[in-house]
Structure 1
Amino acid sequence: MKHVIGVDLGTSAVKILLVNQLGEVVKEVSKDYPLIQEKAGYSEQDPEEWVNQTVAGLQELLETMSEDKSSIEGISFSGQMHGLVLLDQDNKPLRNAILWNDTRTTAECQEIYQKVGESKLLEITKNPALEGFTLPKILWVKKNEPELFAKASVFVLPKDYVRLKLTGNVHMDYSDAAGTLLLDVASKEWSHELCELFELHADFCPPLVQSHDQVGVILPEVSKRTGLSEDTRVFAGGADNACGAIGSGILEEGKTLASIGTSGVVLSYESDGSKDFQGTVHYFNHGAPDAFYTMGVTLAAGYSLSWFKQTFAQDESFTDLLADVDTVPPGANGLLFTPYLVGERTPHVDAAIRASFIGIDSSHEKKDFTRAVLEGITFSLHESVEIFRNQGKKIDSVISIGGGAKNEAWLQMQADIFDAKIVKLSSEQGPGMGAAMLAAFGCGWFESLKDCADGFLKVDKEYVPKEENVEQYKELFRLYQTVYTQTKDLNKELVKFRK
């Protein structure tokens, strides 16, 4: 049987999946690498660590593979977005990569608005200037490390550097390029206007390709180290959220994804780049050909639950912590939680706001607080759902993946709060599966990515809204939305007291 490999280059580890023609994960390998945080707000990684651990993971995958290794026809990639990798003329990194969660670039974001204008930036890139994006990082290095920047020949994103080391070729796909603030998202080309404004030479931005495009084959030296054939076809791959969407079947209008990891994402398919969300949600090119997706982000989704467990139930498992939440009624007996532990992104781009429990009563038990945390996370995600609906999008079915798909009560809660059918997949591999699907499609196994999704992805269970809960949650959501406005100024005042 034929196989493909999906490589998911995350922030803390690379996960590598060996997938057969039935969409079954035959083997999975994960390799960690360190985060470098020299100062508060700084977040970097050594690009060579990504390469070394990816190669080591591929080597381990093939060493323990019982099937014929020559059956591996293709490999593709999913990667953490926005991270800046600056390369010299020999395609060697000039410094550590500056990652998506690095927040040192507030001044550079203001510089972008001053030079471009907020409305013009949204017109070109369809996204606001945020510290996480790539252009502010480029401007930071240009200003603070000018001698180093003068040696920069081209920039790439994390997965692109790993792919470069496997093939010898420099490319960037549209879905990852959309997160740089240098791409004209609708026309799918680098913005000459933005490059000229910031004095970036024409070749500084790499050649653009589609996510399923073949960009090379495995180099001989990589073949020797990993066991992969030199004929193995290498495909561009996509941004982690784009690949997560592909791996969850978000490949046609009306399909929406709710992903609850450390952060939370509500992502919806768009057939074109014509909608105007005025920067309230992210608007990126999809990994599927000629498609787009819109995305709202909750910064502390699963992290809110992890924080609560670590702080108040350290010795309990997540299973035990959530065991009684279904015995607590909607509204957690009058307790509300807002998940603003590290600020918020959608719909409030606010670094100063912090979380709240509202309505604490002496009768409340740990299970009430736990349910309130789950409801607060889901309310935050629902704000993105409402933005989509207010733009005329029909959202009646949502694929749920991540931590939110691991608990029955939470899945039902999502159905009730979103007022939509919630679908749980039988095998959830997210971005890694999306990368494998891009390789399968690129190898010609399927006529389209949608056909691949129909063949690879299976539904495990569906949860439908309960009418009485839907009505209660509508009222509770209205109260939840007032907490931000009522606590915004208070939190600004409290900033000076934070350590």
Structure 2
Amino acid sequence: MSFLGVDIGTSGVKAILIDRAGKALGEASAKAVEPVRPQPGWSEQNPADWWSATLEAADKLVVAHPEEMAAVRGIGLSGHMHGATLLGKNDDVLRPAILWNDGRSSAECAEMEAALPMLRDIAGNIAMPGFTAPKIAWVRKYEPQIYEKIAKILLPKAYVRLLLTGEHVEDMSDAAGTLWLDVGKRDWSDDLLKVTGLSRSHMPRLVEGSASSGELKTELARRWGMGAGVVVAGGAGDNAAAACGIGAIRPGEGFVSLGTSGVLFVSNDRFRPNTKGAVHAFCHAIPDTWHQMGVILSATDSLNWLGKITGQDPARLSGAAAEGFKGPGEEIFLPYLSGERTPHNNAGARGSFVGLSHLSDPARLAQAMMEGVAFAFRDCQRVLKDAGTEMGSLLAVGGGSKSELWLRLIATNLDTEIALPEDGDFGGALGAARLGLCAAENADPKDVMTMPGIKRVIAPDPALRSAYSDQYARYRALYPAIEEARK
């Protein structure tokens, strides 16, 4: 008996097979066509690319692990959040999906909040351009001919689910990122839907992430050598799925994710919004559980950008920064290359280097960039604490966690131990597979979603605490000064 997890990302799809004990049996991946940016601040992708990559990844598993694929009894899905996939009456895609990092709908966010003063209280979140609802408000205003044809609006993984099962279904964690969900009640809000001219008929059916959302289509089961009755779980948004993958489902458990974007995630036993600090307060992927996130939009993406403009490999840049590290230098970096969510909620914010001199070289810039991301996480921690949230030690996930210097900087600035899991994949695909197991076996998520073994723990550096507190104060002073100068 085995279980399949599928993680739909903007750059591709990753699939993983696990057994009943959670042991990885095999994995495969497939690239998707990269998002396009028709205008500055826009980001779109063809939903067909997610489906093609899903088929390719699953087909690869059939070739490499035919017996394990034949034994699949449950499938779980994870996906990048907030993407607006607009479908017509025959489930035809009406336009390219508008993605999570698209910032075109800032004006619509303000209009939505003016139209419904209770919006933040119901949704538990500020109206931000990254969320789904403001994107639809933009389509309503600028593409009315498309808007009038909308029959259903699905998030990315729900679109893949539709093609897997024929069902329009979404889980609570992903639905919480639309700005149409009453997050405390875990149900669609008629008032929030009305602001964008929609009703429940436009929304998918809601299920918990660990519950069944339907069964795999017969033709796909036959294609992959599976039997009848393969259950497809509700699944989770990518961050909630990552939390399931590392076992962060109990109050106070959390992780710091150094991926393209950055996330400081903590699980909660109840709904704890803090909209003043632009904290995300969402449903978790399992029943009666919520979570909070501080989100920064350019984490490893900042390092990739620096590598591109300097013509150097990002890994070499981070290595050079580690070799020459002596504590904070003169350079300070604000990582707002795609705007920022927590704590500023400013899609128009832009990144900056401050304190440049003739001594500034790629290694010093890389260090400042890593410090700037660490400071951004410190901003997230500050507003999470304002919401009354305390967290224990954090697990590190994402590609940036390969840099010990980066983790040391984050641990020191958060004054929190950062645990590095044993080698293995503990991301969204594993979390999705675990949710597939729960749905197929009616298993208790607390029994399935255990934490991995820890390879080592990165502790805060007390010798650097004072210096970084001073540097963080300078960093915080720069944002309002630069934004004022840009007006």
What is the TM-score with the length of structure 1 in the denominator?
A: 0.91
Letter of the 1:25 partner, please give it. A
What aligned pairs does 1:76-155 form with structure 2 within 5 A after superposition?
Answer: 76-117=76-117, 120-155=118-153
Of 467, 474, 481, the residue aligned with 1:486 is 481
Partner of 1:160: 158
SS in 1 for 2:435: helix
Bigger shift: residues 206-215 or 461-470: 461-470
What aligned pairs does 1:219-298 form with structure 2 within 5 A after superposition?
Answer: 219-278=217-276, 280-298=278-296
Letter of the 2:95 partner, please give it. R
Distance 1:349 1:275, change over 3 A: closer
Letter of the 2:7 partner, please give it. D
Bigger shift: residues 148-157 or 303-312: 148-157
Give the CA deviation at 1:364. Answer: 4.6
Of 300, 303, 321, the residue aligned with 1:302 is 300
Distance 1:222 1:201, change over 3 A: same
What aligned pairs does 1:90-489 form with structure 2 within 5 A after superposition?
Answer: 90-117=90-117, 120-278=118-276, 280-312=278-310, 314-316=311-313, 318-319=315-316, 321-332=318-329, 334-426=330-422, 427-444=424-441, 446-448=443-445, 450-454=446-450, 457-489=452-484
Which consecutive residues of structure 1, in runs of 5 or more, have no partner in the other structure? 493-499
Q: Confirm or deny: 8 A CA contact 2:4 2:76 kept in the other structure.
A: yes
Partner of 1:51: 51
| Cα distance between partner residues in 1 of 2:227 and 2:92 | 25
Letter of the 2:400 partner, please give it. G
Give the CA deviation at 1:298. Answer: 1.4
| Cα distance between partner residues in 2 of 1:481 and 1:20 | 47
Partner of 1:27: 26
* 1:95-122, Cα deviation, whole Å (9 max, x unpaired): 33222222332332232122112xx111
| Cα distance between partner residues in 2 of 1:363 and 1:51 | 49
Give the CA deviation at 1:400. Answer: 1.3
| Cα distance between partner residues in 2 of 1:274 and 1:353 | 27
Which consecutive residues of structure 2, in runs of 5 or more, have no partner in the other structure? none
Give the CA deviation at 1:285. Answer: 0.8
Q: Confirm or deny: 8 A CA contact 1:425 1:457 kept in the other structure.
A: yes
Letter of the 2:214 partner, please give it. G
Q: Confirm or deny: 8 A CA contact 1:273 1:292 kept in the other structure.
A: yes
Letter of the 2:173 partner, please give it. S
Give % identity.
34
Bigger shift: residues 151-160 or 140-149: 140-149
Give the CA deviation at 1:472. Answer: 2.3
SS in 2 for 1:67: helix
Distance 1:137 1:361, change over 3 A: closer
* 1:407-441, Cα deviation, whole Å (9 max, x unpaired): 12222222211111111111233111111111122
| Cα distance between partner residues in 2 of 1:48 and 1:363 | 48
SS in 2 for 1:131: coil
SS in 1 for 2:464: helix
What is the TM-score with the length of structure 2 in the denominator?
A: 0.93
SS in 2 for 1:409: helix
Q: Confirm or deny: 8 A CA contact 1:18 1:26 kept in the other structure.
A: yes
* 1:189-235, Cα deviation, whole Å (9 max, x unpaired): 11112233443233112211100111221111212333333322111
| Cα distance between partner residues in 2 of 1:357 and 1:95 | 37
Count of aligned pairs between the two proteins? 485
Q: Confirm or deny: 8 A CA contact 1:325 1:370 kept in the other structure.
A: no
Distance 1:395 1:476, change over 3 A: farther
Distance 1:167 1:433, change over 3 A: same
Q: Confirm or deny: 8 A CA contact 2:177 2:282 kept in the other structure.
A: yes
Q: Confirm or deny: 8 A CA contact 2:76 2:232 kept in the other structure.
A: yes
Distance 1:319 1:458, change over 3 A: farther
Distance 1:76 1:423, change over 3 A: same
Q: Confirm or deny: 8 A CA contact 1:5 1:17 kept in the other structure.
A: yes
Q: Confirm or deny: 8 A CA contact 2:304 2:314 kept in the other structure.
A: no
Q: Confirm or deny: 8 A CA contact 1:59 1:227 kept in the other structure.
A: no
SS in 1 for 2:266: strand
Q: Confirm or deny: 8 A CA contact 2:41 2:338 kept in the other structure.
A: no
Q: Confirm or deny: 8 A CA contact 1:325 1:368 kept in the other structure.
A: no
* 1:78-102, Cα deviation, whole Å (9 max, x unpaired): 0111111222333332333222222
Bigger shift: residues 214-223 or 138-147: 138-147
| Cα distance between partner residues in 2 of 1:103 and 1:365 | 32
SS in 2 for 1:322: helix
Give the CA deviation at 1:317. Answer: 5.6
Bigger shift: residues 5-14 or 35-44: 35-44
Distance 1:68 1:110, change over 3 A: closer
